[in-house]
């Protein structure tokens, strides 16, 4: 059933001198694996682009076709990596499996997200290549998926390519929405960016959290993706980045960032069983993301340890180290009548 009720949104408020200086509105849905919306802030039916939070689904054709793939290479196929040597090595290994080269990656190029990796590239006088793009692992995985499924590698980023059609179908199936409810845009790396309701995106992460390795083909593939990302959080993002830092601190938690402040979380262990959480910071303010993520976990019964709280410091300091403000999070999670059903 499509949720129609809207609730008060969450807010992440940056204050200075005791006064609000900026406010980020957050819409959030908590969903179980069968698609029941258990809790929400704001509009759980808000249609949003998960952007890179779609990568676990985009890697499913690969996981289905290559069950023997090492988990580190499956993790890099789900990654928004930072371009460190470890990241590049995993992408190169994945590329080699399909006989592809860096020139076959159609993601474009940008400097590594990791400051040290970017500085090293400049020091060597080298320009970034598609290998350094944060989505190169996803693209390498797509090329191997095409090779294994017998699909052409040419045009693999286009919406009408068999791979991209299958990825859209998987989004609809896992989200529990009609195919027509999965809207098509274009992502920063040129593959289709798929938009869907928050509750559908949350259900995808619930399915990831609930998947069992002994399940059917799709369930086993979901379980392998969950296992790869949680076993290799260092490859999913990179040093000092939220996914890499957060996943090891909460057992059974899978997380994936998306551009413009989308976030998906699959929580395997909770008082309500496996859960999926998806939220969108409405103005795209990515600095609000760690605060909203921790507030959501706390509202779902996860104790916030000092290590977790360090990911979203309440006190704000200037360059001289002086305390200049604080961050206040208001997350009025509304539990629906379906909770516990």
For the chain, domains (ranges, CATH) are: 12-326 (3.40.710)
Task: Give per-residue pLDDT as tens, 36-60.
Answer: 999 999 999 999 999 999 999 999 9
Residue 225 has pLDDT above 80, yes or no: yes
| H or E element that contains 280 | strand 275-281
What pLDDT was estimated at residue 339? 44
The encoded tokens of residue 326 equal: 């604080």
The encoded tokens of residue 48 equal: 């949003």
| Residue 46 and residue 4 in contact, taking contact as beta carbons nearer than 8 Å | no
Among 225, 264, 231, 246, which Cα is nearest to 304's? 246
Q: Which range is least confidently modeled, 137-141, 205-209, 231-235, 270-274?
A: 270-274
User: What confidence tier does 180 reach under pLDDT thresholds 50, 70, 90?
Assistant: very high
Task: Give per-residue pLDDT as tens, 97-127.
Answer: 999 999 999 999 999 999 999 999 999 999 9
Alpha helices in the chain (DSSP H): 55-58, 60-65, 71-77, 85-97, 115-123, 136-149, 162-175, 198-210, 217-231, 233-236, 242-246, 289-299, 306-309
Residue 311 has pLDDT above 50, yes or no: yes
Q: What is the mean pLDDT of the chain?
A: 96
The encoded tokens of residue 325 equal: 């403000």
What pLDDT was estimated at residue 337? 52
| Residue 182 and residue 171 in contact, taking contact as beta carbons nearer than 8 Å | yes
Task: Give per-residue pLDDT as tens, 68-101.
Answer: 999 999 999 999 999 999 999 999 999 999 999 9
Residue 279 has pLDDT above 90, yes or no: yes
Residue 199 has pLDDT above 60, yes or no: yes
d(CA 115, CA 239): 10
Task: Give per-residue pLDDT as tens, 259-268.
Answer: 999 999 999 9
For the segment 286-307, the average pLDDT, to the nearest whole number, is 97
What pLDDT was estimated at residue 213? 85
């Amino acid at each position: 059933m499509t949720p129609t009720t809207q609730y008060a949104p969450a807010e992440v408020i940056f204050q200075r001198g005791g006064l609000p200086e900026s406010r980020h509105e957050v819409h959030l849905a908590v969903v179980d694996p069968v698609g029941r919306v258990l809790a929400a802030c704001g509009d759980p039916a808000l249609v949003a682009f998960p952007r890179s939070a779609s990568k676990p689904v985009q890697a499913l054709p690969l996981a289905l076709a290559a069950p023997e793939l090492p988990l580190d290479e499956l993790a890099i196929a789900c990654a928004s990596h930072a371009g460190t040597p470890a990241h590049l090595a995993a992408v190169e290994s994945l590329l080699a499996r399909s006989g592809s080269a860096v020139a076959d990656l159609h993601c474009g190029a940008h400097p590594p997200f990791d400051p040290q990796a970017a500085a090293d590239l400049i020091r060597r006088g080298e320009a970034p290549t598609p290998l350094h793009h944060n989505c190169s692992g996803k693209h390498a995985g797509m090329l191997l998926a095409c090779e294994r499924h017998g699909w052409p590698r040419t045009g693999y980023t286009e919406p009408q390519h068999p791979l991209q059609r299958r990825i859209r179908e998987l989004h609809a199936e896992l989200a529990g929405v009609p195919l027509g409810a999965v809207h098509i845009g274009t992502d920063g790396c040129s593959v289709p960016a798929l938009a869907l309701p928050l509750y559908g995106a949350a259900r995808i992460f619930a399915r990831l959290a609930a998947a069992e390795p002994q399940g059917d083909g799709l369930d086993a593939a979901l379980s392998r993706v969950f296992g790869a990302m949680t076993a290799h959080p260092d490859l999913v993002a990179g040093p000092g980045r939220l996914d890499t830092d957060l996943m090891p601190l909460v057992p059974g938690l899978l997380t994936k960032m998306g551009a413009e402040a989308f976030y998906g979380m699959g929580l395997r262990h909770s008082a309500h069983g496996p859960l999926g959480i998806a939220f969108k910071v409405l103005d795209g303010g990515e600095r609000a993301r760690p605060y909203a993520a921790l507030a959501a976990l706390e509202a779902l019964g996860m104790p916030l340890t000092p290590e977790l709280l360090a990911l979203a410091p309440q006190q704000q300091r200037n360059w001289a180290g002086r305390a200049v403000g604080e961050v206040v999070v208001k997350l009025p999670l509304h539990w629906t009548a379906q909770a516990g059903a």
